[in-house]
Amino acid sequence: MHLALLPVLIVVLAYLFRLKEVLAKRDVVAGPQQEKLTFALFGLAVTVMCVGGSLEYLFSHFYPSLPQVLAGILVIVASFRLRVACIRSLGKFWSLHVEMRDGHEFVKTGPFRWMRHPVYFSMILELAGPAIVLGAWYAFIPAIVLFAVALSMRLALEEPALIAKFGEAYVSYMKATPSFIPYRIPR
């Protein structure tokens, strides 16, 4: 294998790992799903970044430095580690969709101490990592725009659903905890 293809291989492996994670069966409590469009848009954003970024890399003949590739790998690994921590914190209430279930518990531990929606922060890292590894900023732009559209749609459903489920406790949490960018230390 030509060393110049290593960044593409790294991104393809990350993409396949993420796909395996999405398709994994988990021991969860199923609940009614409010919609599925945002899930598809999130998936499309990641696909645009990984496939489009790989094509951009291959046709641009830009070869990132080793420190740049390593930095991108660190961002990708951080995104996966954060998502795993979120899945562990939510346990049987983890979902790829907006679902409120019977007995749904309000989780404020783990990454949820720092932000209300840490999975979305992990997804930002998941888009940024391949962009850094590949130096594919033209692919990053439509990917992050798609992500932002999906995120705004998702939060417009998820926040009211959480307020309806948990009431004033969630409203207080909203006031004290950033949405998806951890910019302050939890109390």
**Cβ–Cβ under 8 Å, residues 50 and 123:** no
DSSP H helical ranges for the chain: 6-23, 37-47, 53-60, 66-90, 118-134, 137-166, 168-176
Residue type for position 21: E
Report mean pLDDT in 10-residue bins for the chain, 187 residues.
85 92 76 82 96 95 91 97 94 84 88 96 97 96 97 95 94 94 80
User: Given this model, what pLDDT does residue 29 score?
Assistant: 66
Domains of the chain: 35-94+104-176 (1.20.120.1630)
Q: Which residues contact 65 (CB under 8 A, 6 or more apart)?
A: none
